Copies of this chain bind each other. A is one copy, B any other.
Amino acid sequence: MQKPAYDVKEIEKHLAQYIADLRAPAVLKDAMHYSLQAGGKRIRPLLLLSTVSALGKPAGRGMQTACAVEMLHTYSLIHDDLPAMDDDDLRRGKPTNHKVFGEAVAILAGDGLLTHSFGLIAEDPGLDDALKVKLIALLAKSAGPEGMVAGQVADMEGENKTLTLEELQYIHAHKTGKLLRFSVLAGAMIGGASTEQLEKFGQFADHLGLAFQIRDDILDIEGEQEKIGKRVGSDESRHKSTYPALLTLEGAKQELRRHTRLAKQCLAETGAETGALMELTGMIETRDH
């Protein structure tokens, strides 16, 4: 993995601090902290902060909102791993939340992260009220029953079925695409992007989201288990529809290259200082976990 465009350690320090600051039962804080600090690439907060920087705003503007997105993403992983959902024992090479804290605490840690993420945006010191309201409305749409949660439901309903490419795209656009798109758009809004720039950043995010998911599917076939931190080949054994299954492995790799190229083209067209975002895009194309 290349050196990330923004300091991941800085993000993780803030994440840890927000949890430490909570007046809450110790086991709840431990469970929230455990999954937040279990690694991960921090792609969403990196996208958000790098987009803010690309528009010339001071480094760290929107940090609290960036961490809110990471908390929300982490809640979705905790709930997704539950026995009633994907029933995963490992996440990023470590025992999943419910394996360590039990199912009840895992459900509540997820609920707590989701709820707190909205509070963090409402109290982000770098944003005015009008912007906070817009971000919260967009996050609720991106993560809720019209966004990520819709994707989770569609994904479950699609298991053990052969999906069309259109159905597969609906699932990914919602399950992972919407929150990636939120991260970029939130950064653009915090950075004060023009209407035209917002449009271009949105298109960038859509191509990036597709590239991200196609890479995920390819890694499930070609990746090294140690680096991914979960079992390779799990999609196939669960009879999940994937891009390689629908397009062949070579076809999927072509699509990955195409969407990465288009993502970079959209970035260039924003006219912003997108060096860090170009790097992140390259990282997403070539990541090994």
User: Are A145 and B32 closer than 8 Å at their CB atoms?
Assistant: yes
Summarize A's interface: helix, strand, loop or mixed. Answer: helix
Of the candidate stretches A78-86, A231-239, A249-257, the one touching chain B is A78-86
User: Are B107 and A119 closer than 8 Å at their CB atoms?
Assistant: no
Of the candidate stretches A17-25, A43-51, A191-199, the one touching chain B is A17-25
Interface assignment of A122: CB less than 8 Å from any CB of chain B: yes
Q: Would A129 and B133 be within 8 Å (CB), given that A107-B84, A115-B145, A153-B105 are in contact?
A: yes
Interface assignment of A279: CB less than 8 Å from any CB of chain B: no
Interface assignment of A59: CB less than 8 Å from any CB of chain B: no
User: Are B25 and A157 closer than 8 Å at their CB atoms?
Assistant: yes
User: Are B108 and A149 closer than 8 Å at their CB atoms?
Assistant: yes
Q: Would A140 and B157 be within 8 Å (CB), given that A24-B150, A28-B145, A84-B104 are in contact?
A: no
User: Are B115 and A143 closer than 8 Å at their CB atoms?
Assistant: yes
Q: Would A114 and B111 be within 8 Å (CB), given that A23-B146, A145-B24 are in contact?
A: yes
Determine how many copies of this chain the complex contains.
Answer: 2
> Which listed residue, B105, B107, B119, B143, touches A136 by the CB 8 Å rule?
B119
Q: Please name 27 pairs of A and B residues whose Cβ atoms are closer than 8 Å in the assembled complex, sorted by A.
A: A22-B145, A24-B149, A25-B150, A25-B157, A27-B153, A28-B145, A28-B149, A28-B153, A75-B111, A85-B107, A108-B152, A112-B144, A115-B144, A115-B145, A116-B140, A116-B145, A118-B118, A118-B136, A119-B139, A119-B141, A122-B136, A122-B137, A129-B129, A129-B130, A129-B132, A132-B133, A133-B133
